[in-house]
Amino acid sequence: MKYYTSTTEFNCGIDLHARQLYVCLMDRQGKTLVHTNIQNNDFDFFLKRIAPYKHDLTVCCECMFGWYWLADACQAAGLTFVLAHTLYLNATHGGKNKNDRIDSEKIAHLLRPNLIPPAYVYPAAQRPRRALLRQRLFFVWPRADLLARIHSHQLAHNRPPIKQTRRIRDPWATQLLAAEDHPLRQLALQNELAMVRHYDSQITALEEQLQRLTKRTLPRQYALLQTLPGIGEQLDLTTLYEISDIERFPTVKDFVACCRLVKSTVASAGKIKGLRGAKLGNPYLRWAFGEAAVIAKRDHQALGPLAQGLEARFNGNKFKANTVLALKLARAVYFMLKNQTVFDPERLVLALSRN
């Protein structure tokens, strides 16, 4: 766990909610100077209350769904803003009673002696692109469910699978409907096919827009990542925008930890009691590298046999073997972006051979 180092004379802890923010401002000695509840998230009123201390102030709030506006408002007002990691913060401070007043006070107290575990404040300029990319995923997943339902329908009636492509759905849809003789089942198929086509059009439009933007703003990084096995155009976008800035990770260990590809151990008196931390990190990066590992071992000539060897070492456990391959791919991405170099397959093959 890393901690933020506050260098300002005054520190402000905010317990943020959708319609209010509870503010506690302290000096370095722990004296409370402002402690109030501000309704309707009135930031102008907040600035008036902290005006005497604004010149040397750090503002901190817990990471929750509504922190974007506060981070942007603090930046526009010239205030130092710190985003506290929710899970780590809960592990750091506790108490018998808990309410908004106590929470804001504890955040200020923890900020003063440098005990705030920070989370990454994603740059405001890149947030719309990342949000658009995540929206694409939320369209892809229900479309996959619809396609699986259609496939299950075919299996239920012992019909052979019909080949399809995403770009040209019409011949596939025509054959599906022609094979169905019951009018009600045909109606159900028509409804599902209509939804699939709608998702196709929305997803295609999003992908084209994101690719244009990325090729214009991050052309080198976009081209570099596509040299990695298993990383195509869409996983490339996910990886780039979820990472944001590779320099925010001091070491490769920090990066793979953020990707949810390593677990920490729980030890006491020299004995390992178990593992934890499986859900600490970015779920989108974990998904992207998991997908890349499956595609890489299927399509890459050298990685396929090595992946099979990994499965044999793990007694046929494909999940563990895929996780090891995903970990190696994540390490490769870190050094590729850090050093601005293309993928070296020999190094990855050598690393997998040693496992």
The tens digit of pLDDT for each residue in 251-261 reads 999 999 999 99
pLDDT at 31: 94
In a domain, 57, yes or no: yes
Whether residues 165 and 197 share a domain: the answer is: yes
How many domains are contained in the chain? 3
Instruction: Give 19-51 pLDDT, tens digit per residue.
Output: 999 999 999 999 999 999 999 999 999 999 999
Which among 185, 217, 249 is the end of a domain?
217
In a domain, 201, yes or no: yes
* Lowest mean pLDDT segment, chosen from 74-88, 188-202, 289-303: 289-303
pLDDT at 73 over 60: yes
Name beta bridge partners: 276.
264
In a domain, 225, yes or no: no
Burial status of residue 104 (CB atoms within 10 A of its CB: 0-12, 13-18, 19 or more):
buried
Which among 217, 248, 265 is the end of a domain?
217
Whether residues 210 and 239 share a domain: the answer is: no
Question: Mean pLDDT across the stretch 284-302?
Answer: 88
pLDDT tier, 199 (very low <50, low <70, confident <90, very high otherwise) = very high
pLDDT at 56: 95
pLDDT at 308: 82
Whether residues 253 and 322 share a domain: the answer is: yes
- DSSP label at residue 278: T
Question: Mean pLDDT across the stretch 306-323?
Answer: 85
Q: Which CATH number is 84's domain given?
A: 3.30.420.40
Range of the domain at 265: 233-354
pLDDT at 267 over 80: no
Instruction: Report CA-CA distances (Å) from 267 to 263, 273, 275, 276, 285.
Output: 13, 5, 9, 11, 28
Cβ(159)–Cβ(185) below 8 Å = no
pLDDT tier, 81 (very low <50, low <70, confident <90, very high otherwise) = very high
Whether residues 210 and 242 share a domain: the answer is: no
Which among 217, 252, 280 is the end of a domain?
217
- The beta strand positions in the chain, using DSSP E, are 10-16, 20-27, 32-39, 57-62, 80-84, 264-268, 271-276
Query: Is residue 64 classed as helix, strand or coil in its secondary structure?
Result: coil
Strands 80-84 and 10-16: unpaired
Whether residues 287 and 211 share a domain: the answer is: no
pLDDT at 1 over 80: no
Whether residues 243 and 199 share a domain: the answer is: no
In a domain, 251, yes or no: yes
Q: Name the residue type at position 328.
A: K
Q: What is the mean pLDDT of the chain?
A: 89
What is the C-alpha separation between 341 and 137, in angstroms, rounded? 28
What is the C-alpha separation between 32 and 51, in angstroms, rounded? 15
In a domain, 300, yes or no: yes
pLDDT at 65 over 70: yes
Name beta bridge partners: 61.
14, 83
Whether residues 96 and 145 share a domain: the answer is: no
- The beta strand positions in 178-294, using DSSP E, are 264-268, 271-276
Whether residues 23 and 66 share a domain: the answer is: yes
Whether residues 202 and 259 share a domain: the answer is: no
pLDDT at 265: 74
In a domain, 228, yes or no: no
pLDDT at 92 over 60: no
Whether residues 210 and 136 share a domain: the answer is: yes
In a domain, 81, yes or no: yes
pLDDT at 97: 75
* Lowest mean pLDDT segment, chosen from 96-100, 136-140, 229-233, 242-246: 96-100
pLDDT at 170: 85
pLDDT at 93: 58
pLDDT at 95: 66
Whether residues 47 and 157 share a domain: the answer is: no
What is the C-alpha separation between 23 and 325, in angstroms, rounded? 46
Whether residues 275 and 184 share a domain: the answer is: no
In a domain, 211, yes or no: yes
Element (H, E) at 151: helix 127-156
pLDDT at 355 over 70: no
